Structure 1
């Protein structure tokens, strides 16, 4: 990668991580890799917006050097301190000791805790503050809890660019710069996965922030996030999606997620899906032991119906689906319909365990339970349960 111009005198100078397949520890599978976007503005005061993950400083500084001497940077803006964005902070403090740094007060405190270093000239800013760098005045917009307390956006009215950090991001390693330079379906797929796995728990905050930004009447021609592609063509489509997701809106589709021991619960799951299909409602069957939870969460983001199944083992649901549901309950999903199902040998606690774990995100109906392997009559009941559930989904 080299410095890539996104607008006159504005460059993308970040790094591409082609090989990263696990993000946020092992919570997010990044099948298309990751980018760590950083932006350089050439004005009377050369300005850097965000840095890169530790280990990518050489590539990042090389990209900056393709445009200017890094030691000439006079203004550094830290929109967010998570290590994938702030790993280059100690390096830039060392290279530019007299630069003026801007970020929230929480960012200042967090950077000191992370790295044990601090910028000599730091200004803590709040929404409405700004800095003039020559032709441009950069405005700061509070974005707390999108998705950390220190987050903020930076807006350049001169360029009509919103530097949105984690907002509107996607995990998509590519040598392209803009959203319209890659396959649209792949781009939107990564956008939805990112929202589902990073921002879903903060939908209420995001909805309020989108409304507040709308009131500012910002002219936006580009949205430059810190992961993935810069938005220029599909801003209306992306905004429409974000508004839809942030309101916990749904479409008539159902996710059936299960884990099985001896395939009895799996047989139930397949019959339930057949029943759903008989009513013309879309459904996808996910074996949680075989499908990445990143993809399951992305599908569930706008699904109206959730159906969860597990065999009972040692008086509980099975461990892989237990981990997935503990992850899912943090989504704060709303307005979903659900039911639980599963086979068991003795006591059958798994269905109640499921409801107890994620009862906060969905309204659960009557569960379906089977002892050992299902009879044909019991499989017919599973089919009917799926059919009746699909009718409820269509009716609400």
Structure 2
């Protein structure tokens, strides 16, 4: 029998642990995933969310350790994406008379479209008494689907936050203070950068709606539950959702015969000499989702590619396309586009155009070097970096 875990008196974690998942929507989940669901044993037996369909048996086993699933009377679906709601049809089968609520109208429509189940809609300001507790609902649309909402239980001080504040992090430990905090924060940042980043304005609205709550625990749908480091994760979400940057640089490149690589290394070293921490990333060896983790709060971003068949390298095109899809606000970031070429500087120019279209504050025109960069060429790169830093700090 798989064990449920009591996270607060009469509130149990009954989710699933996906140890082997290594990809989610195109980003790497090297630490696996959890699908968190929560069972509240009150006068009305209540279930907050379900689990991915492939974890239905595990999920139902955990519920059954605490209560016969047929006795569930209320199901709150905070989000209809299938890693959250995939087990909803099974719960509907086991507890056919249970009241199911979801955000109106998006959640109601999505459940109907996915599963053919008719459910009740709730909106911000609505609440349901389940006995000693009253659950309050706050819609958080586009964090990160139109139907997203959170559920607040003031009697326990628990915010069932759905995707917000989550991490893709498989562990038998359920709380932030039981795990390596550096790893938890890293996974929270990677999750934000690759899933939530496009929706900074919506995150700000959601945080404003939740302001003033006496939160003792944040129970997300993925990863560990926050109870000892709530202030820290709220502070990070404030920074990330307002696109604040730190004084650091990320230099991303691909290279065929090391000329663009030599330029990339020179740019990296120039930042370091100026006291700016810098990370050099070869896109051939680093997944684009891990690059976004590094780029999330970097003030300086340099991207380089040689010319291949009149275009930038496909790896660089893939990275820039992925970044553009995440729609980061780059108005506070300094960009540098560079690269080498043989007979046409089209690759570096395309990189420049992409970065300019993404609203980076470009430090200089495109830096394109024919064939092999000389010492003089590399020295000029140093000057570009110095000026970029001076302009950003002005």
**Shift of the alpha carbon at 1:356?**
2.3
Alignment equivalent of 1:152, drawn from 110, 126, 149 = 149
Q: Check the 8 A contact 2:335/2:355 in 1, yes or no.
A: no
**Structure 2: distance between partners of 1:296 and 1:97:** 46
Is residue 210 from structure 1 mapped to residue 207 from structure 2 by the alignment?
yes
Per the alignment, residue 333 of structure 1 pairs with 329
Is residue 344 from structure 1 mapped to residue 341 from structure 2 by the alignment?
yes
**Shift of the alpha carbon at 1:358?**
3.0
Summarize deviations over 1:205-234 as a string: whole Å, max 9, x none. 1112212221xx211100000000000000
**Shift of the alpha carbon at 1:103?**
0.5
Describe how 1:26-45 pairs up with structure 2 within 5 A.
27-45=26-44
**Structure 2: distance between partners of 1:326 and 1:361:** 14
Structure 1's unaligned 5+ residue stretches are none
Describe how 1:197-346 pairs up with structure 2 within 5 A.
197-214=194-211, 217-329=212-324, 330-334=326-330, 335-346=332-343
TM-score normalised over the length of structure 2: 0.96
Of 173-182 and 196-205, more deviation after overlay is shown by: 196-205
Q: Check the 8 A contact 1:271/1:386 in 2, yes or no.
A: no
Per the alignment, residue 76 of structure 2 pairs with 77
> What SS does structure 2 have at the residue aligned with 1:55?
helix
**Structure 1: distance between partners of 2:68 and 2:5:** 16
Alignment equivalent of 2:121, drawn from 105, 124, 129 = 124
**Structure 1: distance between partners of 2:275 and 2:389:** 8
Q: Check the 8 A contact 2:138/2:209 in 1, yes or no.
A: no
Q: Check the 8 A contact 2:363/2:384 in 1, yes or no.
A: no
> What SS does structure 1 have at the residue aligned with 2:146?
coil
**Structure 2: distance between partners of 1:375 and 1:79:** 58
- Displaced runs of 4+ in structure 1, greater than 4 A? none
Of 9-18 and 102-111, more deviation after overlay is shown by: 102-111
> What SS does structure 2 have at the residue aligned with 1:203?
helix
Alignment equivalent of 1:364, drawn from 357, 362, 365 = 362
Of 349-358 and 67-76, more deviation after overlay is shown by: 349-358
**Structure 2: distance between partners of 1:178 and 1:226:** 13
**Shift of the alpha carbon at 1:336?**
0.9
> What SS does structure 2 have at the residue aligned with 1:312?
coil
**Shift of the alpha carbon at 1:277?**
1.1
> What SS does structure 1 have at the residue aligned with 2:53?
coil
**Structure 2: distance between partners of 1:275 and 1:77:** 53
**Structure 2: distance between partners of 1:158 and 1:131:** 13
**Shift of the alpha carbon at 1:114?**
1.9
**Structure 2: distance between partners of 1:140 and 1:178:** 24
Summarize deviations over 1:167-192 as a string: whole Å, max 9, x none. 00001100001000001111111111
> What SS does structure 2 have at the residue aligned with 1:382?
helix
> What SS does structure 2 have at the residue aligned with 1:66?
helix
**Shift of the alpha carbon at 1:361?**
3.5
> What SS does structure 2 have at the residue aligned with 1:316?
coil
> What SS does structure 1 have at the residue aligned with 2:167?
coil
**Structure 2: distance between partners of 1:46 and 1:29:** 36
**Shift of the alpha carbon at 1:331?**
2.9
Structure 2's unaligned 5+ residue stretches are none
**Structure 1: distance between partners of 2:136 and 2:154:** 8
Q: Check the 8 A contact 2:4/2:62 in 1, yes or no.
A: yes
> What SS does structure 2 have at the residue aligned with 1:377?
helix
**Structure 1: distance between partners of 2:391 and 2:250:** 14
Q: Check the 8 A contact 2:288/2:322 in 1, yes or no.
A: no
**Structure 1: distance between partners of 2:133 and 2:14:** 19
Per the alignment, residue 68 of structure 1 pairs with 67
